[in-house]
Chains A and B, each alone.
Chain A
Amino acid sequence: MKRIGYFFLYFSLLVVALFQIVPLLWLFIFSLKDNREIFAGSPFALPSEFRWENYLKVWDGGIGVYFFNSVWITTLAIVLTVLFASMATFAITRMRWKLSGAVLSLFIIGLMIPIHSALIPLYSMFLSVNLIDNPLGVVITYTAYNLPITMMILLGFYYTLPKEIEEAAVIDGCSVNRMFFQVILPMTTPVMATTVVINMIYNWNEFVFVNTFISSEKYKTLTVGIQNFIGQYMTDWGAIGATLIISVLPIIIAFIFFSNKVVEGISASAVKG
């Protein structure tokens, strides 16, 4: 009786796992087929011939440019976000000043803001300072909107750093700047790694800001790029599948190598909302 119960529970977990995986598996299989085979054959049959040329075709057809834009915009925004968030968290947790509590609550409130409420004013602000159709506008927007969550993840770690470290550093005649960059930052590497992974996922997948602020093909990132691109190839399922696989691949690879960091970061981001 207990056996059967256990089997039933296990079975239900596997069904959920299948539900989560099967659409992606199907996507990967049809990304290697041509339309004739997709429409005529059984959906999960392996392709009679693996058509990797689907990937080559969409990469040269424009996806490559979007891909590199996503890479550098994501990377630059991560560096700025993690650096600024670390500095601010350092100032809030390790220095004593009157307004630190008020400033911290400001960042916490920042977690709850629906971005759509800020979108129109942001657009008109950027229009007046030439940041529309300029990737830097996207970079600073990503940085600003990811600072609160990044700081929330960092805070807990900074609070646990023992005070003695700074005291020792100060006695050694170490300046605050050297202490921050050479002592504190290296010590926070594990939690910084978590914030890097989380920021990478957010930035890589972001859609609304790029869709609103960027109009030139040469600056578009993958999310917005594939949206237009798929319009072009509307009927070529293999090309669409290849495009989607290319767009999700970096995140999947990051997940395979850093799954524990991702899990940690996503659990921490539960405070977001």
Chain B
Amino acid sequence: MSNKLLIALYISPALLLVLVLVFIPLILSGYYGLMEWDGIGDKTFIGLENYINGLQDMKFWSSAYHSFLLAIFSTLSLGIYLTISFILASKIKGSDLLRKIYLIPMLLSSVAIAQLWIKVYNPSNGILNVFLKQIGVENPPAWLADPSLVLFAIFIPILWQYAGFYILIYYAALKNIPESLIEAARIDGASAFQIATKIKLPLIKEVVSVTVVLAIVGSLKYFDLIYVMTSGGPNGASEVMASYMYKLAFSSYNFGYGSAIGFLLLIITLIVTFIVRKLTTPKERIEY
């Protein structure tokens, strides 16, 4: 067998699958966005109308706003994860076990997490309100049915789900810092707080930058949990970009417009990834 044929044989299964099922659909999504189409009948070419409608669609912008709010919450929560990781990495007994316990929610499906938290938030029998009533709160809110609270209520399970993941990454980065650096600072009389903020934090800047990108981009793509918990409700108060696109296509059978929104989601994700990378990547690489 010739070498060329062998290479083709080894690379083609993976390459074909990714090209056909990942990349071609992406291009088609941009193309279908130019059509008026119900998914079954004929496509009619209507130019950029769907995209222009998308940019003027208040429902799309409100879903984009919710996605960006989640992105901001997620980024801010990185501070909490980072603090916990600092404590965990400071020679605490049982840190390995704790890290694994933190990770458990990350392993569960978003559907199971959503169903569990629907129960937690149940207005009369959920543990949250049972607890609030016990400590004397008279009329605890109906969390998921309250438009002004629903996004925060959804964010708590997200925090719960991803805590272990980010703590794991930060912990690994902190453990990678050579002990000699810390020792040197200690001999120079630096306090534990100074060591954390002036030495350790700058040394793991690159990892923090990666997690910021992950948190933001992950939030922009967020779907499963919200779709199951509230399906975007009440009255669109928790609609995000992906859930809006999904409904357009698979509930209203507006495939052309749905494709256009899906393509906008892709463009927004790519632009935001690029900007966040540019803003957060440290200028010089740190070697140690």
Chain A residues at the B interface, C-beta cutoff of 8 Å:
9-10, 12-13, 16-17, 19-24, 26-27, 30, 38-39, 43, 84-85, 87-88, 90-92, 95, 97, 103, 106-107, 110, 112-125, 140-141, 143-145, 147-148, 151, 176, 180, 201, 204-208, 212, 222-224, 226-227, 230, 237, 240-241, 244, 247-248, 251-252, 255, 259, 262-263, 266-267, 270-273
Contact = CB atoms under 8 A, between A and B. Distances in A.
A134 to B, nearest CB: 14
A230 B160 contact: no
A125 B23 CA distance: 13
Nearest to A112: B273
Given A88-B15, A124-B39, A204-B109, A119 B262 contact: yes
A13 B109 contact: no
B163 A255 contact: no
A88 B20 CA distance: 16
Given A26-B127, A121-B29, A248-B109, A19 B265 contact: no
A85 B14 contact: yes
Contacts of A19: 160
15 contacts: A13-B87, A20-B160, A24-B116, A95-B7, A107-B18, A112-B270, A118-B25, A119-B246, A121-B24, A124-B39, A176-B6, A207-B111, A208-B224, A222-B109, A273-B210
Interface of B: 1, 3-4, 6-7, 10-11, 13-15, 17-26, 28-29, 32, 39, 84, 87-88, 90, 92, 98-112, 115-117, 119-120, 124-125, 127, 130, 160, 163-165, 168-169, 172, 210-211, 213-214, 217-218, 220-221, 223-224, 228, 241-242, 245-246, 249-250, 255, 258-259, 262-263, 265-266, 269-270, 273
A259 B100 contact: yes
Given A17-B101, A19-B160, A273-B217, A9 B21 contact: no
Contacts of B90: 9
Give the secondary structure class of B's interface: helix
Contacts of B4: 97
A98 to B, nearest CB: 10
B224 A119 contact: no
Contacts of B29: 117-118, 120-121
A247 to B, nearest CB: 5
A177 B257 CA distance: 48
Ranked nearest first, the 8 interchain pairs of A and B with the lowest CB-CB distance are A205-B109, A121-B28, A118-B25, A88-B14, A144-B21, A121-B25, A91-B10, A117-B266
A230 B115 contact: yes
Nearest to B269: A114
Contacts of B242: 114, 116
Contacts of A114: 220-221, 242, 265-266, 269
Given A251-B108, A267-B168, A120 B218 contact: no
A87 B116 contact: no
A190 to B, nearest CB: 18
Chain A at the B interface: SS class:
helix
Given A87-B14, A122-B21, A95 B160 contact: no
Contacts of A143: 17
A109 to B, nearest CB: 8
Given A140-B21, A270-B165, A273-B214, 13 more contacts: A20-B105, A20-B160, A20-B164, A91-B7, A106-B15, A107-B14, A117-B26, A124-B39, A176-B1, A223-B112, A267-B168, A267-B169, A273-B218
B14 A23 contact: no
A255 B26 CA distance: 35
Contacts of B84: 12-13, 16
Given A23-B160, A143-B17, A252-B104, A92 B32 contact: no
Contacts of A204: 109
B117 A23 contact: yes
B127 A112 contact: no
A115 B255 CA distance: 16
Contact of B18 (A120, A148, A222, A251): A148
